[in-house]
Chain A
Amino acid sequence: MYAALWRVLPGPVWVRILILIVLAALVLFALVTWVFPWVDSMIATQEDTVSV
């Protein structure tokens, strides 16, 4: 999977590394902005109110 990704990236090694860093940053941004808050709301670990 990652080997295949490495093969399809163009350019010399440093360009590929640069592209991978940018890709990782985008993935991390998407996780923190959308995925993690959604997962957190699904598992609902935070219960701070008293209610019946």
Chain B
Amino acid sequence: MTDPREPSPGAGERRASARLSVVGLIGELLITAGVLVALFLGWQLWWNNVVSSSAQERAATSQSERWLEQARAEPDASGQAPAPSDNPNAGGTTGGTVSTDPPVMKPAGLYQPFAVIYVPRFGDEWRRVVKEGVSAPHVLNSEHSGIGHYPGTQMPGQVGNFAIAGHVNGYGNAFIDMSKLRLGDRIYIQTSQGWYTYRFRDYEYVQPDAVAVLLPVPREPSTAPEDRLITMTTCNPPFHSGERLVAYGVFESYQPLTAGAPAEIAAHVAAVGG
């Protein structure tokens, strides 16, 4: 009954099952690819920010504590920067009074941490180490920083423009709440010597190539600077790179670390402070 020229029923099944397994393999690969993309999005939009944000806040807290401990160990160091010999009254800043003529530190080396920024509007726990340079892998994405200082712009308290950058989302979401600032909100910059207090002034939405916002007088290349400004740039809108959001602040006061943290943040600054 069986024709030897006919392929055996088993061979046909094998061919059919081979086709099926190829289709099945492609299907499994596609499902795997879909799961990988979903995992990547979950990592990029959520998990990486949770991890980076807490690491950056821990790094900022320990940096802040180190400077406060140094200031308590050698309280005289705070008075060296402003050259008190020029002005007999400037010696008073060492004793802990608030000053409007702050000492200015030398520019930091590339990728060196030189400040910690506190912005109460961003939350009681929010703080970041500021490093020199705005490189994504070395500074903005770093678990030890998150905010970078534009090289060549002024240092904290200096006449001109102290310009910094941070992510609005991704790698710790440093500036995720930048658009929530209100007029007069304080921005505190702690260095190894003291606290520089700035107050938020206004926003500007600009194109990504608007480097003029970093000038000593933003947007005014030929004007000599008289004010001490802070400029913060981040991405706008979130999850997109079409524009930049720029927030400007104006210097208000300086006090040495030995005078204790500014009252508004004193309770949230490292426990060893004050």
Contacts and interface: CB of A to CB of B under 8 A. Distances in A.
A14 interface: no
Contact of A48 (B43, B48, B234): B234
B136 A50 contact: no
A39 B33 CA distance: 14
Q: Which interface class (under 10, 10 to 19, 20 to 34, 35 or more) fits A?
A: 10 to 19
B contact face: mostly helix, strand, loop, or mixed: mixed
Interface in A1-52: 1-3, 28, 31-32, 36, 39-41, 44-52
A51 B208 contact: yes
Given A31-B39, A36-B43, A45 B208 contact: no
B43 A52 contact: no
Contacts of B170: 40, 45-46
B176 to A, nearest CB: 11
Given A1-B28, A2-B28, A32-B43, A46 B140 contact: yes
Given A1-B25, A31-B39, A51 B209 contact: yes
B39 A50 contact: no
A52 B211 contact: yes
B211 A50 contact: yes
Contacts of A50: 165, 206, 208-211, 213-214, 233, 244, 246
Interface string B212-248: 0110000000000000000001110001010010100
Given A1-B24, A51-B209, 10 more contacts: A1-B25, A36-B40, A44-B136, A45-B170, A46-B140, A49-B134, A49-B233, A50-B208, A50-B213, A51-B211
